[in-house]
Homo-oligomer: A and B are copies of this chain.
Amino acid sequence: MARDRTKGRKGRVVDYVRLTHPFDPQRVFSDDYIAAMHEAALGVLARDGMKVLLPEARDLLARAGARVVDDMVHFGADLVAEALRTAPRHWVLRAANPERQRLYAPGQLLFSPGSGCPNATDAVRGRRPGSLRDFTETLALQQSFDVIHMLGPSAEPQDVPPALRHYAMMQAQLTRADKPMFVYARGRAQVAESFEMIRLALNLSEADWATGVWASTVINTNSPRQIDVPMAQGIIDFARAGQMSIITPFCLAGAMAPVTVAGALVLQHAEALAGITLAQVARPGAPVSYGGFSSNVDMKSGAPAFGTPAHLQMQIGSGQLARHIGMPWRSASGAASNSADMQAAQETVMSLWGALMAQATLVIHAAGWLEGGLSFGYEKFVNDVEALQTLAEICAPPPATPDDLALEAIADVAPGGHFFATAHTMARYDTAFYPPLVADLTNFGTWTEAGSQSSTTRATAIWQRVLAEFQPPPHGAEAADRLASYIAARTAAGGAAPVD
C-alpha cells in the first residue's frame, strides 16, 4: 500500500524503510576543538550546574554523587562518564508492524514528520488551530509514505480536553498506523497510561515490552541550564520503562544560547549530557538519545531561523559531539517560512543535507514543518516527501555490474543516435529511475495547458488522494477493540492531568 504512494511502476521496489547513511560524516571543527568543547561542557556542568526543578530528580542525582545546592545540580565529570558508560549505543524501535521496526544506531537514517505544531494549514481549508481531525489526517499522511519512519504529533488536537488528549493521540497511533510511536511527556499519569495503552492494544506481554523501544519522546531542556518538572519526570519515567527519551536542548544562538556556534554547542552538549545522566541514574542502560536542535535567531526579528549557515554548522558540530561520545542522535530540519514557497523548500532541503553531513540517526521535522513549527502544512509535507524520497533513493548505490557499463549498447547505437530502443534500455527502462511524486517534468506548453499549476498547488490533489484512499493497517480493528473499554473507563474517571 504505502509503497504505491511513489507512483511506483510495476516491478520497481526500492526500500525506503531501512536507510543507512550514504555519505561520510563531515566536520566543521577540528577533533581537538571538539574534545575541548566536550571538556568545556563538563566544566559547565560541574562549575555552573543545571537547575533541576523536580526534587526526585535532584535526589536521584545526589545519591549518584552529584553536588546539589538548593535546586542547582552540579554534575562531576565522573558521574557523566559513568552515564556515558552505561548508556547503550543502539536499540530497536519496535512497531505494531514488524516490517516497520528500525534499528536506532549511529549510521542509521530515520525521518520523522514535522511535529508539535499548534496549527495546521492547507490550500483548501486555510490555517486553523490543530484539531483531532487534523491530527488524524496528518497521521494518515505519515502512515502512507514509507520514507516517514516514525510517527509524530504533527498537529495538536486542541479540540480534545488536555486531560483526555493522550487517549485520542494513542488511539489514533495504535489503530490507524503501524510505525514506531511518539508519546508526549506530559505528566506521569499520561505517560503511564500511554504505555499501558500500547501494551493493551498490541497485546504485549512484559517480555514483548522489554524487547525494545515501543514509545519515544522528545525532552526539550529549558535552555539555558534548566530542566523543568514534566521534562525531568519524562526522562525518569521513560528510562525506567525502557522507552526512548531524546534529550534535545533547543539552543537558539543569540537568544537562549551564546551567539557563537561553538558556544551554543557547548551549552547544548552540557544540557544533553545532564539529561542523559539523569536517564542513566534512573535506570542504567536505558535507551536515551543524544539530541541537538540548535540554530540561530534572525537578527532583525529575534525569530528562530532554519536552514541557515549557522544551523548547518551546528548540525555538523552536533554530529561531531555525538560521535565524540559514541551515541546515536537526532537532528532536525525545518523551515521558518510562513508559506509553502521556495524559501520553505530551501530551508528544509538545506537542513536535510546538514543532517546528512552530520550523520544524524533521526531527522525530526523532516516533512511539513512551517513557521518554525507553528504550523504543519499539508502541501509542504507532500513536497518535502519528494525531497526525502530523493535522499532515500541515493542511500543505495547505483547498480555496478559489468552489464551496467552498457558497452554493447554503446557500440550498437550509432553516433548521434539514441538509446530508447536498445535491449539494454528496454530491459531496465521501467525501473531505472525514481518516479516523481509531485514534480512535473512536462514542457512549458504542456504545463501551461494543464493550468500552470505550481508544485504547491499540485500537492493539494496528492494529499487529498492519499487521504481518500487511506486504509488503516490490518491490526487496527482489533487494537481498537482492545482499547475501547480502557479509554471509556478512564474518560469516565476524568482522564489524567497533563502536569502533576
Contacts and interface: CB of A to CB of B under 8 A. Distances in A.
Interface in A53-86: 72
Interface in A343-398: 343-347, 349-350, 353, 357, 371, 374-375, 380, 383, 386-387, 390, 393-394, 397-398
Contact of A260 (B312, B347, B432): B432
A411 B267 CA distance: 10
A284 interface: no
Contact of A353 (B298, B353, B407): B353
A168 B432 CA distance: 44
Interface stretch (A157-165, A439-447, A464-472): A439-447
A125 B47 CA distance: 63
A415 interface: yes
B262 A404 contact: yes
A48 interface: yes
A327 B28 CA distance: 26
A350 B387 contact: yes
A441 B345 contact: no
Interface in A39-54: 40, 43-44, 47-48, 50-51
A299 B439 CA distance: 13
Contacts of A222: 415-416
Contact of A404 (B260, B342, B357): B260
Contact of A429 (B50, B299, B400, B430): B299
A409 interface: yes
Nearest to A357: B23
Contacts of A346: 345, 349, 383, 386-387, 390, 439, 455
A260 B398 contact: yes
A390 to B, nearest CB: 6
A30 interface: yes
Contacts of A436: 298, 305, 308
A88 to B, nearest CB: 29
Interface stretch (A148-156, A169-177, A419-427, A490-498): A419-427
A343 B375 CA distance: 20
Interface stretch (A136-144, A185-193, A202-210, A250-258): A250-258
Interface stretch (A97-105, A331-339, A477-485): A331-339
Given A305-B441, A419-B256, A432-B260, A224 B410 contact: yes
A443 B258 contact: no
B260 A440 contact: no
Contacts of A340: 342
A433 B259 CA distance: 9
A379 to B, nearest CB: 8
B342 A344 contact: yes
Given A349-B350, A406-B258, A343 B398 contact: no
Given A29-B398, A309-B390, A456-B342, A405 B40 contact: yes
A477 to B, nearest CB: 37
Interface residues of A, number: 127
A91 interface: no
A291 interface: no
A6 to B, nearest CB: 12
Contact of A409 (B258, B305, B413): B258
A298 B419 CA distance: 14
A54 to B, nearest CB: 14
A261 interface: yes
A454 interface: yes
A371 B444 contact: yes
Contacts of A15: none
A386 B337 CA distance: 14
Given A37-B405, A399-B262, A339 B224 contact: no
A433 B454 CA distance: 32
Nearest to A434: B309
23 contacts: A22-B26, A23-B26, A33-B400, A48-B411, A224-B414, A225-B413, A226-B416, A253-B433, A255-B419, A260-B406, A263-B406, A296-B432, A298-B436, A309-B434, A313-B394, A338-B442, A341-B342, A341-B456, A342-B345, A342-B459, A343-B383, A343-B438, A344-B455
